[in-house]
Amino acid sequence: MLSSRVRLVPTTVRSLICSSSRSFMDLKALLSSLNDFASLSFAESWDNVGLLVEPSPPHTVNTLFLTNDLTVEVMEEALQKKADLVLSYHPPIFRPMKRITWKSWKERLVIQALENRVAIYSPHTAYDAAPQGVNNWLAKGLGVCTSRPIHPSKAPDYPTEGTHRVELNVTHTQDLDRVISAVKGIAGVSVTSFSARTDDEEQTRLSLNCSQQALMQVVAFLSQNREFYQKTEILSLEKPLLLHTGMGRLCTLDESVSLATMIERIKRHLKLSHVRLALGVGRTLESPVKVVALCAGSGSSVLQGAEADLYLTGEMSHHDVLDAASQGISVILCEHSNTERGFLSDLQDMLGAHLENKINIILSETDRDPLHVV
């Protein structure tokens, strides 16, 4: 009879072994999960989002490091804490780089990341637009309110193809065959047809979804037949708007409060001792605030034209502040990243749940706004 020897492992050690065995994700799988959390398709067209620096594959991620800005000091912290992926809200690479040398600080960040096998990912305006993103977090500091995007995003995926729809009725079978044969030969055109009745006459309704380039060819063909062309309708196709996704937020408070009260709420939410205030013409600190238009970061272009009692953002140009104030709209400026950074604590919790705690997620302790009140 063979005897077996059993070695007992303390509970705490066992838990560490188990957690370390499951505390990682493949980079590509993690990127896919991050996109499921907030699609990069929501980002502005001018933005530089997504994976910016990638170590040679395969690359596994045990520790995800969150920061608002990836500075030299923050990169040193990320390396000390053994980060495998840095999620930097602002993209550290924005303008094209012609070379990677030790000359500039941003080039050095890339070199350090690659030498230490650290990937860099930036979501930026995708997180601004997301329903659970930065602007939504900023709105939480206002009090109980309903909000909607100032500039709603359009659905990134929608079954309808093409940019335009061409519709016309065809009476005779011979004409129908000729039209269908011609348009099916044009790349970028999809054809559907259905029966229709016009003036008690049986007809076939043709609906052609066309790309911008295909539209010109379809129109050129139809214009050869005056009867077809006079019956043609051309519709411009737009993707549906997403009601809770988009840039900025227009927030309507359940109950009006004084501007002074709103200032204190904002300072408390952002953990700031001071903010900058421009009073709207005819307004005082006791003026009521019912509607707030806000945009994290730099809000001039997003807030312009929004009808509100108060604009809340990180920074605006001098002349945009003057324009708003002249319309009786007060403006609160908190410095750019002060309106964004606090979101990272919420993001840490949300990503932990979304990723099922498969990896370690830590917040930078050295990341801060570069401007201070002295």
pLDDT at 25: 97
90 belongs to an annotated ligand binding site: yes
pLDDT digits over 87-102, tens only? Answer: 999 999 999 999 999 9
Comparison of pLDDT for 152 and 172, the residue scoring more: 152
pLDDT at 5: 37
Burial class of residue 302, CB neighbours in 10 A (0-12, 13-18, 19+):
buried
- 31 and 106 belong to one structural domain: yes
128 belongs to an annotated ligand binding site: yes
pLDDT at 197: 77
Last residue of a domain, one of 236, 254, 271: 236
pLDDT at 240: 86
Instruction: Residue 67: give the domain boundaries.
Output: 25-123+343-363
pLDDT at 31: 98
Averaged pLDDT, 259-276 = 98
Whether 17 has a pLDDT exceeding 90, the answer reads no
336 belongs to an annotated ligand binding site: yes
Beta bridge pairs of residue 313 = 295, 333
164 belongs to an annotated ligand binding site: no
Name which of 53-62, 196-205, 280-289 the model is least confident about: 196-205
Q: What is the CATH number of the domain that holds 217?
A: 3.30.70.120
Residue 160's pLDDT band, with cuts at 50, 70 and 90, is: low
Read off the tokens for 94. 């924005």
Looking at the chain, the whole-number percentage of residues with pLDDT higher than 90 is 75
- 106 and 207 belong to one structural domain: no
Looking at the chain, the whole-number percentage of residues with pLDDT higher than 70 is 93
In a domain, 372, yes or no: no
Whether 315 has a pLDDT exceeding 80, the answer reads yes
Whether 317 has a pLDDT exceeding 90, the answer reads yes
In a domain, 215, yes or no: yes
For residue 201, give every residue at least 6 positions away whose Cβ sits within 8 Å of its Cβ, in sequence order, or none. Answer: 171
Identify the H or E element spanning 160: none
Helices 343-354 and 27-37, packing angle to 10 deg: 120
- 134 and 275 belong to one structural domain: yes
- 260 and 321 belong to one structural domain: yes
Kindly report the pTM of this predicted structure.
0.82
